[in-house]
Structures are given as structure tokens and as C-alpha cells.
Amino acid sequence: MKKTFKIFAMLFVLIFTLTSCSINIKTSNEKSQSVSNEYNEKLKIHYIDVGQGDSILVQKNYSNMLIDTGTNDSTEKLISYLKKQNIRKIDYLILTHPHEDHIGGADAVIKDFDIGKLYMPKVGTSTKTFRDVLMAMKNKDLKANEPELLESFKFEDANCTFYGPINSEKKDLNTYSIILKLTYGSTKFLFTGDAQAENERAMISKGYDLSADVLKLGHHGSRTSTSNDFLDKVNPKYTVISCGKENDYGHPHKETVNRLKSRNIPLYRTDENGTIICTSDGKNISFNCSPGDYRSGRR
């Protein structure tokens, strides 16, 4: 088992060693291939219902960004949803950290779609799910990029900045989560993966501009994330939790939903709303459904 782990660990390091630092620029041929995609003049963010997992599709014009890919069990549902959006290419694929509920469908996504640039934290596991992702990457000669703190890139006319991984701890893969802030016009969105309170404290300590209109709560609404100090800094108008109905973890936890309730922050949740679609024109934000309630998960 140790020998097998070492082999895959070496393969993972090799992928990062070979990572190209060049910026992925669309060629005219790539643009023509993506013309079949649905045109989205407004920014659209799909918080896809993948059960007890995370997967978020961000669209603008003809460009697509996918943050996480749900669980192994939700893979077929995810691929079907992406294809219904007429997607052929995912310009940015961001796998926040290597837990199964965030990378379960990544191998299928890599296989079925043209991938532009892939971001992953530089940490791995010996799980079959993670090995499947590495094999899919190898088969398509796809290299991983580790985001640097405050590294930015343009997503059409929106600006994206990495705030994590930050203050990671070896004992907890959640703390390696990629954290991304997206700004489109005057509207701002924060995606936190499974970032923990210690990651939140580190961002506050660094003085990052955490303000956001829409916050995707860390770790499916666990009590270990979304601290009061963090909420003070983000000061969101809306929050979103991705979690499964009556999941075994009791997500979202009572402590978390009570923090939101005390601040009168609307909470959208995939266990009640299903897939949630948020739209921004750069000034105004709307949702395709009404907020959920402040009920904690059942255990």
C-alpha cells in the first residue's frame, strides 16, 4: 500500500513539475468551436445540486468555469446538466481540494469536455477517486496549476482572484481549499470550497477584501466554517449552501444557520431548492428561486 501511494505521490508531483505557466489564450479556432455554446450576456452562476457535494458552473458570454465536480454518485447528473447547457469547453476547471465530494466527477468532466486551464492545490491522497483524476489528466496531457495567493485572471469581463489555499494544515485536507473571489461590475461573489475557520482567520489577518454580495458557505454549512468574524468581513447580501437532503453529517449545522438568521441573511440551499441559478448584470443580482429556511440538517 505504501509503495502504491509513493507511486501516485510521485506522479502527482510530476504533474505539477511539468505545469506550464503560460497563459491560456483562445485561438480563433477555439472560439469558433465554442460558438455552439449558449450565449450568456449576463453573468450566470449555477450552484448545481450534486447531493452532499459541491459543483458550481460560472458562465459569461461563451466562457465557462467549473468549480468542483460533485461526488462519484452524482457524476452522471453533473455531465447531463453541463451538456444541457450546450457546453463543449470548460475554460477554467477549479478543483478546490481532493475530497471525493468535490472531485468525484472530475475524471468524467476531463474526459468529456475540452479543458482550458486546470487549478488544483498541491496536495494529494491515495484514494481511487484521486487516482482516477490523475489518470484522466495524464490521458489528455493536462497539467495542474497551483494558484498563488492574490493571483488574478480575467474571466471575460469579470475579474477573479485567489485567496487560498492559505494557512493549510496537513491533518485536514479541507484547509487546502482553493478560495476564489469573482468581481463583475459592482457585484462580488466568494467561493470557499471547504475552507475552515482557521483559513478565514488567515484571510482576515492578511487584510484581504472579503466583501461579497453572494457567499458560498464553506464546508456545506458546517459549524467549523463561516465564523462570526468572517461574516462581519464578507457582509453578504445572500448565502448559498450546497448539501444533500438529510445527509449523514447534519449539514448545515445549527450554529451556522443561526449566525445567518440573526443577521437576516437569505439562505439558498440545494437540499431544498435543487440547482440554484444566480444572475448578475453587473449591478443587480437575481435568483431563479426563493430562499430556503434556516432549518439545520438532520442526523
The predicted-structure confidence for 86-144, as pLDDT tens digits, reads as follows 999 999 999 999 999 999 999 999 999 999 999 999 999 999 999 999 999 999 999 99
Residue 28 has pLDDT above 50, yes or no: no
Domain at 39-287, CATH from 3.40.250.10, 3.60.15.10, 3.40.1080.10, 2.40.37.10: 3.60.15.10
Residue 2 has pLDDT above 70, yes or no: no
**Quick check: 241 and 221 in contact, CB under 8 A?**
yes
Q: How confident is the model at residue 7 (pLDDT cuts 50, 70, 90)?
A: very low
What does pTM read for this prediction? 0.88
pLDDT of residue 40: 83
| Structural domain spans, the chain | 39-287
pLDDT of residue 201: 98
In whole angstroms, give the CA distance from residue 217 to residue 196. 10
The chain-wide mean pLDDT, for the chain, equals 90
pLDDT digit string, tens, across residues 147-164: 999 999 999 999 999 999
pLDDT of residue 11: 52
pLDDT digit string, tens, across residues 31-58: 434 334 567 889 999 999 999 999 999 9
Lowest mean pLDDT among 9-13, 213-217, 291-295: 9-13
**Quick check: 215 and 242 in contact, CB under 8 A?**
no
Mean pLDDT of 257-275: 97
